[in-house]
A and B are shown apart, each in its own frame.
Chain A
Amino acid sequence: MENNVVEMRDIVKIFPPDNVALKRVSLSIKKGEIHSIIGENGAGKSTLMKVLYGLEKANQGEIFLGGVHKQISTPKEAVDCGIGMVHQEFMLVGVYTVLENIVLGDEPCNALGMLKLDAARDKLKNILEQFHFDFPLDEQVQNLSVAAQQKIEIVKLLYRNVDILILDEPTAVLAPQEADELFKLLEQLKQAGKTILFISHKLDEVLRISDTITVMRRGERVWTKPNQGLDKIALSNAMVGRDVMLTVEKPETVPGDTVLEFDGVSVKSPLVPGKLDNDRVSFSVRAGEILGVAGVEGNGQYEMVQALIGALPICAGNIRLMGRDISKDAIRERRRQISYISQDRKRSGSSQTDTLTDNVTMTHHYVSGRLKGKLGLLSVRKMRKLCDEIIENYQVKCKNSSTRMMELSGGNQQKVIIGREIELGCRLLVADQPVRGLDVGSIEYIHKKIVEERNKGVAVLLVSADLDELFSLSDRIVVFHNGRLVAQRRPDETTREEIGEFMLGARSELND
């Protein structure tokens, strides 16, 4: 009991009207351990941590810190109690310097409220030296890499003398090497006596770094065990309550004719004059093949997809779809032939405030005649029918077709979008981060669907930051770095480490 820095007892959280997110969850955290909390999306792990951090108010239950009963109702109080959280989405002010971001909210000042940034600088020096951080304190945060920003978030907490750090899926945004660096840092923090709560989907890394693992499912704690003799199968079974197929079954196919061809395509950066976001990119995707696109975010994959869809103009080269140059076509024209799952499910992939029926109708309304009614208007009956079919065939969990998109969980929203796009029946499927932020069950299902499409002879372009996903789905992998295609490999001829080196620019196979 004295060893437990955090003790949460019988926490109940109900989101109105009747969504019970946490059902009497109890959890004990020992001092100085790395404690991972894993579970599917909606399992309640983030909610539990938000209760601890004061972002959500529990309906019932108690929290003890070091044996003392505490009421934590705001993040500020949590930080004062020594608990800090690094969110998935960074809470940084882009135009502020690193130093300003770190001190914000806890600034050293004189009596008149004038800032004394140099005092903060001195205090930070110790922290930076102790954990070997090296970032320029006077650089604007928006100029730094995602990995550096994440470290700033951690330093922000250390600056506030936080002892218990909660990290919400910290590796989701990192390249493998960057993740390794983060793990080293976590180890150092642990040596320094900090306690770390690590929320993750990725079983490999959880097994690698944790001292203790807690599995959650549907708002309940399944078990908490020391990390000894556990493996991925055990974890995933506990998470979903059934065996998950972790490697997708993928029959050998012989790719058919070329469907999509990028030939020396360049895209000018809309923000930085003179910079090319895509620089002479060439590749092709054939029918019945999945081409995986790897790369650290911001290296041109996104722009490549936007150029393909027609949302960004290209300034050199051409894009051919089934032999025809489509570089000059309007988005609407291209979309007749391209099924497209955008990376931003909430903004460009769907309309959150509209019903499922309306969402499903989009694109279909002009691409196919199947929704036509009388007088050239859309037939509401046919729209509903299409929606019901997608709900049925793609296992969407929802009330009915009139439910609004935003009421669905992320996984179910994505199923609706994927259903809509696959039903278009195009020969090319572009999937930009199709499973980002989804739970294991949905991921598995969506992966199965993508492979099914490939087996039917559809050419698939899959962009992902997750190497596991790329390795298990792709027939070929290409790697983006700095707007260029730096390598091409078959997954069975390479390793994650090799692809990781390409992603970070440590190696390159450019020949110009």
Chain B
Amino acid sequence: MSWNLILTILSSAFSASIPVLLAGMGGLFTHHANVFNISLEGMLLVSAFTAVAGTMSTGSWVMGLVYGMLGSVFVSLLFAFFVLKIQMGEFITGIAINTLATGGTTYFMRQMFNVKGTLTSPDIVSIPKWDIPILRDIPVLSDILNGQPWLFYFAFLVVIPLVYIVLYKTRFGLRLRATGFEAKAADAVGIKSHSYRLIAILICGVLCGLGGSYLSIGYMRMFSENMSSGRGWIAIAIILLTKGQPLKIMMLALVFGFCEGLGMSLQGYEIPVQFTYMLPYVATIIALFLDSRKKKSVGNKKA
């Protein structure tokens, strides 16, 4: 494998990890609020679509991002309405939302843009890429990290630290986690656990909106049917594996991104595309398997 190929893999690894990373950051809020939110997938997909639709109709990536977030927040409101207000099961609601997202985005894509499968257009404006002064002069790092969409840097340098601080260093985080661990204890000291659950779901919507937008107008410049292709589920698996710890989520999202980058780069070789596509998912299953083995050996069996 040539040196250049390795750099390409690493570069696309970082970039490919962003949607999973952002969905994971959003999902960890619902995780800590003890809301079993499997609608991350739907949120990513809807926002990927609305972001593309947004840029195409306005010609601005800013509006694309805004539309992307609005789309996902709309989905999260839907989720919150059914789960918190009507008290329908989280699982059922999540499945319904994911199914609706797949069907809905496909339908609207065909209706609005008259295309099947994949929507590409010169009207799609992607998120601007940053050429960072000092970084561009550092040999290897420049190849891997420079020239990415600014949302890329925002995710690593702002979102992750902010999530970490909010979760562990603020009153909001303390209360949020308390409602997740022991809602009764939180309610007993006057914390309205219900509102915290709602806020967590909304934050999840916003972050998934960023992730979905990144997918369609950052990482790529197109929308295709079911383009989230399981990234929301991967994010859920990662959250469960790491018990919602932001830094560990970042690590695993990078591993996922690396496998995806590797898979894409290997397509040039004589390996069937289907197998290279499988790589990140196989990695996730292996991670889940290893984790459950670890738990068993500790003897975490319930009688």
Contact = CB atoms under 8 A, between A and B. Distances in A.
Contact of B178 (A79, A104, A112, A271): A104
B185 A104 contact: yes
Q: Is the interface of B mostly helix, strand, loop or mixed?
A: helix
Contact of A79 (B171, B181, B190): B190
Contact of B303 (A89, A91, A92, A311): A311
Q: Is the interface of A mostly helix, strand, loop or mixed?
A: loop
B185 A100 contact: no
Nearest to A100: B174
Contacts of A89: 184
B4 interface: no
A74 B174 CA distance: 21
B300 interface: yes
B295 interface: no
Interface in B159-181: 165, 169-172, 174-175, 177-178, 181
A282 to B, nearest CB: 22
Interface string A70-111: 000011100100000001011111111000110011110100
Nearest to A76: B190
A192 to B, nearest CB: 22
A93 B170 contact: no
Contacts of B172: 113
B185 A106 contact: no
A119 interface: no
Given A114-B169, A115-B169, A270 B188 contact: no
A115 B178 contact: no
Contacts of B169: 114-115
B186 interface: yes
A93 B175 contact: no
Interface string B261-303: 0000000000000000000000000000000000000111111
Interface string B231-256: 00000000000000000000000000
Contact of B182 (A79, A93, A311): A93
Given A75-B190, A94-B181, A95-B181, A105 B299 contact: no
B62 interface: no
Contacts of A112: 170
A160 B301 CA distance: 40
Contacts of B174: 100, 104, 107, 115
Contact of A271 (B185, B190, B299): B299
Contacts of A156: 189
Given A96-B178, A270-B303, A105 B170 contact: no
B56 interface: no
B171 A93 contact: no
B185 A92 contact: yes
B191 interface: yes
A426 interface: no
A312 B178 contact: no
Nearest to B191: A105
Contact of A115 (B171, B184, B191, B300): B171
Between B175, B185, B188, the greatest number of chain A beta carbons within 10 A of the residue's beta carbon is seen for B188
A306 interface: yes
A113 B170 contact: yes
B302 A270 contact: yes
B188 A115 contact: no
Contacts of A114: 165, 169-171
A96 to B, nearest CB: 7
Given A93-B181, A96-B181, A306 B190 contact: no
Contact of A105 (B182, B190, B298, B302): B190
B190 A91 contact: no
A101 to B, nearest CB: 8
A273 B302 CA distance: 13
Interface string B179-214: 001101110111100000000000000000000000
A114 to B, nearest CB: 5
A107 B191 CA distance: 11
B199 to A, nearest CB: 13
Contact of B299 (A79, A96, A100, A270): A270
A50 B34 CA distance: 27
A79 B300 CA distance: 39
Interface string A292-318: 000000000000001000011000000
A91 B300 contact: no
Nearest to B302: A270
A346 to B, nearest CB: 16
15 contacts: A74-B190, A76-B189, A79-B189, A87-B188, A91-B188, A94-B182, A100-B174, A104-B175, A105-B175, A105-B191, A109-B170, A113-B170, A115-B169, A270-B299, A273-B299
Given A79-B190, A114-B171, 11 more contacts: A91-B189, A94-B182, A96-B181, A104-B174, A104-B175, A104-B178, A107-B174, A109-B171, A114-B170, A270-B303, A311-B303
Interface of B: 165, 169-172, 174-175, 177-178, 181-182, 184-186, 188-191, 298-303
Closest 3 CB pairs of A and B: A105-B189, A76-B190, A91-B188
